[in-house]
């Protein structure tokens, strides 16, 4: 079986003070959130990528976000169907936020 990937429908160009990110989550309304990936003993950030940024033809500044209390490197996550809970995966462990 072969799958063909089409070109992206939208591009998002943004500035953020974090080095890396592996966690991208979409809430039930289609809003996008990312969690920064950090080195050991540092606090990652959770930020909302503004809907106005999608398809924009200029670089968008991302807000400061929320500094997470855990000093953990998160590598995945999901938002509950009702949008009230976030679960983040790390190595090792899963965290409810």
pTM of the model: 0.76
Look at residues 34, 45, 40, 28 and name the one whose alpha carbon lies nearest to residue 12: 34
Res 81: pLDDT: 94
User: Is residue 63 a contact partner of residue 47, using CB atoms and an 8 Å limit?
Assistant: yes
Residue ranges of domains in the chain: 14-96
pLDDT in tens, the chain (97 residues): 666 666 666 666 667 777 788 899 989 888 889 998 887 788 899 988 877 777 777 777 777 788 888 888 888 999 999 999 999 998 778 888 8
Res 3: pLDDT: 62
């Amino acid at each position: 079986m072969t799958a063909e990937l089409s070109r992206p429908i939208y591009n998002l160009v943004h500035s953020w003070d974090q080095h890396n990110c592996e966690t991208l989550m979409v809430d039930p309304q289609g809003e996008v959130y990312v969690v920064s990936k950090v080195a050991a003993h540092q606090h990652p950030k959770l930020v909302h990528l503004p809907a106005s940024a999608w398809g924009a033809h200029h670089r968008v500044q991302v807000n400061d976000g929320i500094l997470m209390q855990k000093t953990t490197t998160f590598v995945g996550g999901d938002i509950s169907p009702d949008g009230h809970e976030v679960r983040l995966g790390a190595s090792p462990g899963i965290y409810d936020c």
